[in-house]
């Protein structure tokens, strides 16, 4: 069963259970998938990797929105955003810890032969592909900068 099918089934289950948080979260993912398929006038097939990137983006948006709501004193809205993010995170693979990411990036630096901050672009290109879905871009970028500096 593809990730898209799993999400479709999750929408049905959330509707049957009358779980509005899960329903809203999975519908948001489904909406992103539909936008992706209809973008640029073509009927594209969407891969599980594409869906994982979409889910990561949606989770990041929810967490940033929650921070904004907390700053504005709207804790109930922040809680709702964080609850939706938690539902979405169920579809993501287990995130690597910063120490695990650092080990992987050291391997990539050795593989690419990078020696200075000027080689950051090469390292980031390989690292983003290798760690797609396992870590966010900000963490990867920070660690690459530390190791190349």
Query: How many other C-beta atoms are found inside a 10 Å radius of the C-beta of residue 122?
Result: 14
pLDDT at 43: 61
**Distance from C-alpha of 88 to C-alpha of 81, rounded to nearest angstrom:** 11
pLDDT at 41: 63
- The pLDDT of 43-72, averaged and rounded, is 87
Query: How many other C-beta atoms are found inside a 10 Å radius of the C-beta of residue 79?
Result: 14
**Distance from C-alpha of 69 to C-alpha of 75, rounded to nearest angstrom:** 6
Query: Residue 49: pLDDT above 90?
Result: no
User: What percentage of the chain's residues is helix, strand, coil (to nearest 5)?
Assistant: 80, 0, 20
Tell me the average pLDDT of the chain: 86
Contacts of the segment 140-147: beta carbons below 8 A, 24+ positions apart? 140/101, 140/105, 143/98, 143/101, 143/102, 143/105, 144/105, 144/109, 144/120, 145/117, 145/120, 147/102, 147/105, 147/106, 147/109
User: How many Å is the maximal CA-CA distance in the chain?
Assistant: 56
**Distance from C-alpha of 139 to C-alpha of 100, rounded to nearest angstrom:** 11
**Distance from C-alpha of 141 to C-alpha of 136, rounded to nearest angstrom:** 9
Instruction: Please give the model's pTM, rounded to 2 decimal places.
Output: 0.73
Query: Residue 140: pLDDT above 90?
Result: no
Contacting residues for 110 by C-beta, under 8 A, at least 6 apart:
none
Least confident of 41-45, 62-66, 101-105, 122-126: 41-45
| All structural domains of the chain | 3-89 (1.10.1510), 98-148 (1.10.10.410)
- What are the pLDDT digits (tens) for 77-129? 999 999 999 999 888 888 888 888 888 888 888 888 877 788 888 888 888 88
pLDDT at 17: 94
């Amino acid at each position: 069963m593809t990730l898209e099918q799993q999400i479709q089934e999750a929408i049905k289950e959330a509707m049957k259970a009358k779980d509005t948080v899960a329903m809203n979260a999975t519908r948001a993912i489904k909406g992103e998938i539909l936008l992706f398929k209809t973008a640029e006038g073509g009927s594209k097939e969407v891969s599980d990797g594409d869906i994982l990137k979409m889910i990561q983006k949606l989770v990041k948006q929810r967490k940033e929105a929650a921070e904004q709501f907390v700053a504005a004193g709207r804790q109930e809205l922040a809680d709702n955003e964080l609850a939706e993010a938690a539902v979405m995170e169920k579809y993501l693979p287990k995130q690597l810890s910063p120490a695990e990411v650092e080990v992987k990036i050291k391997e990539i630096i050795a593989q690419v032969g990078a020696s200075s901050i000027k080689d950051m672009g090469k390292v980031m290109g390989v690292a983003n592909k290798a760690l797609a879905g396992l870590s966010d871009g900000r963490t990867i970028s920070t660690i690459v900068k530390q190791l190349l500096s």
